[in-house]
A and B are shown apart, each in its own frame.
Chain A
Amino acid sequence: MTTNNPFRVGLETERTPAPCVFVIFGASGDLAKRKLFPALYNLALSRLLPPGMSIVGFATSERSDDVFRHMMHDAIAQFSRRKPVDETVWDDFASRLHYVPGKFEDPANFVRLRERLEALDRTNGTRGNRIYYLAIPPSEFRVVNDNLARAGLVADANDHARYTRIIVEKPFGTDLASGDRLNADLHRVFDESQIFRIDHYLGKETVQNLVALRFGNAIFEPIWNRNHVDHVQITVAEDIGVEGRGKFYEEAGTLRDIVQNHLLQLLMVTLMEPPVAFTANEVRDEKVKVLRALKPIEGEEIAKLTLRGQYGPGNCAGVPVVGYRQEPNVSPTSMVETFVAMRLEVDNWRFAGVPIYIRAGKRLTKRITEISVHFKHVPHVLLAQHAPVEPDVLAIRIQPDEGIALRFVAKVPGPSMTLRPVNMDFRYGSTFGGSGPEAYERLILDAMLGDPTLFARSDEVNAAWRFVNPVLEAWHSDTSPRDLPTYPAGTWGPQAAADLIERDGRAWRRL
């Protein structure tokens, strides 16, 4: 937007997105209905959509604008975080919604799309600005990109009069080779500055608060290193199973679905060096350095430092549930992992020698995502007459009940010097009240503003695959059941996960 607006000086919203047409490919799919349209509607409710902005759904089914609007009204009514639907805001929002039916493979449909977008430019003042959201399987990215380019729907990255941006959803490939191919496909049509790879974990308030905690407070940064940190644990646990997505999960597995993206993103934000500025390239430069410093896990180390598991029948909060192989669309002999644990190390000046334990899985005891930084024991046990002194732990809860807790030791009142750990607990909900924007709202707004700080860059994706790939290959070549232990649904994973950390004399944090 113009930087010459004197009315923006001093206002909270000093930057606003320029009007654009937001095109969603796969507009009738699950992601669009559950996340994208509710997020766009909530932005409208918060008065954050620019005037004139239009939203075009593109999908294969034939339907009119009105039928499409009706469908999206139902989706928003069901999935929006703010209910009920505000009909005044909806009327205005609905007038921005349009639908173009067509198969992605047919270039003629993209010519029709262009005509529709140009008409919107004329009536709504969107000035050729485009954001394309690919809510479609990665296998269809290529044909959509090519047809966009062929139809003249991609502006040059250096065109200052208008912009084109593309938002893509994970998975960014299925291994190193396909990840690179996907990046190459995108780069044939788009400049890296036009590509916004969404990892919704980065849109979560607590992940951003981790940056604030580390770099907005002087007390943590001096001790955030190998001299004071004993080890780090990152847990991404879900209590649900594959929830009808058996077909998808059979091709993905936890390593691809969670570890390669969400978990490594959390790891990067936890361990990165302070960026020189909180701007896109500076932040992402520091993040990718962490991935490059990860000690590769290859050859015999894979069996020693990584493990996988698959959930069997069990219970979820007291309700009996089936095992993974009994889920619909899952092979009864499936060797796909639903649990991963690893011991990682980062070879850099700050964290050399500090083990990072990660675990992620489905059908675990509870849903929780947490990063915990475990500090070293006190150097001299002066006060431990009656009990060992527990080391301090700083825990950052990403979900649910977002917050930060610091465990430290205090004296129990009384005549003897008895110590016990206590928790100082900061909870977002009870401290600030209300709920913040959903991750998708924040990320879509950032994409409209052209701020890629919270999106993954191609070299990050490449470095993440480079790290994960040897493990993937080894697991795929080894199909012996002993390497895929089963754990009962509702537990914290296979016993081997406990062994992985216990052989270092440590234990998983009780969550």
Chain B
Amino acid sequence: VRLSLDAVEREIVRLWEEEALKSQGPRIELLTVVALVSEERLRPRAEEVLAQVVRAHPSRTIAVTWKEGEQASLTGDVSLHRVTAGGAACGDAIVVEAVGGGRRWLPENIDRLALADLPVCIWWVGDLPDFDDLFDRAVVSSDLVIVNSGEMDLRDIEKLSSIVERSRGRYALTDLTWIRLKPIQELVARFFDDDAAAGCVPHMQKVTIEFAPREEEADVASTQAGLLFGWIAQAAGMRPEGVRWQRGNDWGEATLGKTAVRFVHRPRADVPTGTILRVAIECGGGRFEVERLDDPQVLRWSRHVQGSMTPPMSLRVATVEESTLLAGSLARPRRDPLFEKSLHTATQIVRPIAPRLSIPPQRP
């Protein structure tokens, strides 16, 4: 039964009272997670992810969908999230459906349904349009905005950069693809943990990043590869201004000062598209490499540095589900300066080959 939004809060109170009669389980909610589901087909996936996430972060979740219709309306339905089927409740789930012009009313009603005095996280599910009035208005009263650049094109890196700029620090932006990169970043950082290797960093000559492209990939690099190099470039102090590009069918090479960065397509069916398959760095006479092996969850780490002997290692980096990535981003709902800096650097590097396509519409 779909409820008027007016009735949603009352129904939630009733469900929790019913729950209290069944068990002594406490009601603990840490935040409100709002999923703005950009396409109806993504709704089941979004609801499934939210149901998983609340097990680590007991929360109120609000899944918002919209569809065309003449009569503008907003309705909702509610239920409780449970740790296991039939187990203890760990949050409440609201699904809001907007019809027609009702989509315009969503931001203020999301505010109304959010838990008082707790962080609000907005997760945009799907590809983010270049400009979206709902997104722009909803994020204003949020603390954390979560997107997934893995579902976007390389040119959208610049769009994300502009969201950070527009936020002026009022809310934080994070990217599930950025969270996915963390194990690779950790392994790359590990190359340079001793003085002998750290001394090589200023002499970076060549970086190779191989990734699994989408079918008929038109971009030189996946957003994941672009972000990874943005991070490497800012850490190594490279200057992205004046970047020069060359490209072939399945590769692209950027030159930043004395450093050549080659992005290589390596089709592979057993990993999600965009996945990093190999990172190799040559600098100051040292060679550093992380490569995904035949088992896609196993990475081989190796390095050769003059005067510093280290045996190679094999490490398991389990495939991370979307819900784990989302939970990871909710663990610290605050700005990540490293992400913002890496995004900014990546934007400058890829702009010549993946410029943003449109300009903001004039607001009335």
Contacts and interface: CB of A to CB of B under 8 A. Distances in A.
Interface of A: 1-2, 4-13, 16, 18-19, 45, 47, 50-52, 86, 88-89, 91-92, 95, 122-125, 424-427, 430-434
Given A6-B192, A8-B193, A427-B26, 19 more contacts: A1-B194, A5-B192, A5-B198, A6-B237, A7-B232, A7-B235, A13-B189, A18-B194, A47-B317, A52-B310, A89-B315, A125-B194, A125-B310, A426-B28, A430-B25, A430-B26, A431-B58, A433-B55, A434-B56
20 contacts: A1-B194, A2-B195, A5-B193, A7-B191, A8-B189, A8-B193, A11-B182, A13-B186, A16-B189, A16-B190, A18-B193, A51-B312, A88-B295, A91-B314, A123-B309, A425-B26, A426-B28, A430-B83, A431-B28, A432-B57
A47 B193 contact: no
A12 B193 CA distance: 14
A383 to B, nearest CB: 24
B316 interface: yes
B309 A124 contact: yes
- Going nearest first, the 6 A-B pairs with the smallest beta carbon separation are A10-B338, A7-B189, A433-B56, A125-B309, A4-B198, A125-B310
Nearest to A7: B189
A427 B237 CA distance: 45
Interface of B: 25-26, 28, 30, 55-58, 83, 88, 90, 182-183, 185-195, 198-199, 201, 232, 235-237, 295, 298, 301, 303, 308-317, 336-338, 341
A507 to B, nearest CB: 23
A124 B315 contact: no
Contact of B30 (A2, A92, A431): A431
Contact of B338 (A5, A11, A124): A11
A51 B199 CA distance: 18
B26 A1 contact: no
Nearest to B195: A2
B28 A430 contact: yes
A51 B313 contact: yes
Given A11-B338, A88-B295, A92-B313, A2 B193 contact: yes
Nearest to A426: B28
B316 A45 contact: yes
A5 B189 contact: yes
Given A1-B194, A47-B317, A426-B28, A6 B309 contact: no
Given A9-B338, A426-B28, A123 B56 contact: no
Contacts of A431: 28, 30, 58
Contacts of B313: 51, 92
Nearest to A52: B310
A124 B310 CA distance: 5
B309 A92 contact: no
Contacts of B83: 430, 433
B274 to A, nearest CB: 21
A392 to B, nearest CB: 17
A427 B88 CA distance: 12
A135 to B, nearest CB: 26
A12 B182 contact: yes
A366 to B, nearest CB: 18
B320 to A, nearest CB: 13
Given A2-B198, A51-B313, A123-B311, A88 B193 contact: no
